[in-house]
């Protein structure tokens, strides 16, 4: 990977990691699903008027939009409001890689090499270990919501594969346009009209910053750069960069909210990250090296 592209990739990972702390800033003020709805409203308008609709079925756009905006980020945002720390949310959301491996195996008949099985086992051990964290950074509801978000991410990835589109940015942008309406509806069914009446008073500088940061640097700019890297380089070269997200997610929690990183939490973090890293190992490359040097 070229030096400039590598720097851009790392910068995106920093933004995505710190995003969990920015989400926490917003949910301390307003409803988490309302915050998510505002994020995707600004992310799609007016940008969608300047990007041509991808040549895919409307159903793929709707399904992906709901999974991405409601399933992933709606639930991840809610998990932080439900007591899950920003750092642990960034770590546990990476379980989408593990869930994706098994969903790909059962739904798409994709192969499941031994390194991916071993890596998944280590990552799952990290997940189980996180259940024993007693410093208040992991709650039962928060854990359930972030795992739902991780599963939704895996299903969203399968939807992209089924859609078989090369216009990834346009696909994401048009899909996100279907997210705000159902999110606003869910908020209304949960809280009634009062939450919307009170919104103008709640739009202080912290909420506005949280919404703008999520909509533009994280969503529009971040995914534009990320998709450009995916098109330019092999997935095996680009994908490991995502392992930096929970690193900066944890650092953001420590810096901005003084979240503690005890021994159990650190071991759980290392298990999840190392397990996912093992899953990325190129088994064909290992076989070639063994045949050459052993």
> How confident is residue 289, by pLDDT bands cut at 50, 70 and 90?
very low
Q: Are 34 and 214 in contact (CB under 8 A)?
A: no
Please report, for the chain, the start and end positions of each structural domain, with discontinuous segments joined by +: 3-293
Q: Report the alpha-carbon distance of residue 237 to residue 242 in Å, rounded.
A: 11
176 Cβ partners below 8 Å, 6+ apart? Answer: 40, 43, 44, 65, 68, 69, 219
- Lookup: tokens for 233: 């380089």
Is the pLDDT reported for residue 98 higher than 90? no
- Give the pLDDT score at 132: 82
- Give the pLDDT score at 141: 94
Single pTM value for the model? 0.86
- Give the pLDDT score at 286: 44
Q: Are 99 and 93 in contact (CB under 8 A)?
A: no
- Give the pLDDT score at 70: 93
Residues 13-40 pLDDT 10s:
999 999 999 999 999 999 999 999 999 9
200 Cβ partners below 8 Å, 6+ apart? Answer: none
- Give the pLDDT score at 285: 45
Is the pLDDT reported for residue 236 higher than 90? no
- Lookup: tokens for 142: 């928060």
């Amino acid at each position: 990977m070229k030096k400039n592209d590598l720097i851009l990739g790392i910068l995106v990972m920093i933004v995505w990691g710190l995003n969990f702390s920015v989400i926490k800033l917003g949910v301390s003020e307003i409803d988490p699903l309302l915050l998510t709805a505002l994020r995707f409203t600004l992310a799609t308008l007016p940008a969608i008027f300047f990007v041509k609709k991808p040549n895919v079925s409307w159903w793929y756009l709707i399904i992906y939009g709901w999974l991405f905006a409601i399933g992933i980020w709606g639930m991840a945002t809610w998990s932080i409001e439900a007591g899950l720390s920003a750092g642990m949310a960034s770590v546990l959301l990476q379980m989408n890689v593990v869930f994706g491996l098994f969903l790909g195996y059962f739904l798409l008949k994709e192969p499941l090499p031994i390194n991916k099985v071993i890596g998944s086992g280590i990552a799952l051990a990290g997940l189980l270990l996180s259940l024993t964290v007693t410093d208040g950074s992991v709650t039962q509801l928060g854990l359930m919501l972030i795992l739902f978000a991780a599963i939704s991410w895996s299903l969203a990835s399968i939807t992209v594969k089924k859609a078989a589109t090369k216009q990834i940015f346009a696909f994401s942008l048009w899909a996100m346009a279907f997210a705000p309406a159902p999110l606003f509806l869910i908020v209304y069914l949960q809280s009634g009209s009062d939450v919307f009446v009170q919104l103008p008073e709640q739009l202080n500088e912290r909420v506005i910053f949280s919404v703008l940061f999520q909509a533009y640097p994280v969503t529009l700019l971040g995914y534009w750069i990320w998709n450009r890297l995916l098109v330019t380089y092999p997935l095996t070269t680009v994908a490991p960069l995502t392992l930096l997200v929970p690193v900066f997610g944890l650092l953001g929690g420590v810096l901005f909210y003084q979240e503690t990183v005890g021994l159990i939490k650190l071991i759980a973090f290392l298990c999840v990250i190392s397990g996912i890293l093992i899953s990325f190992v190129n088994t064909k490359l290992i076989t070639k090296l063994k045949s050459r040097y052993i």
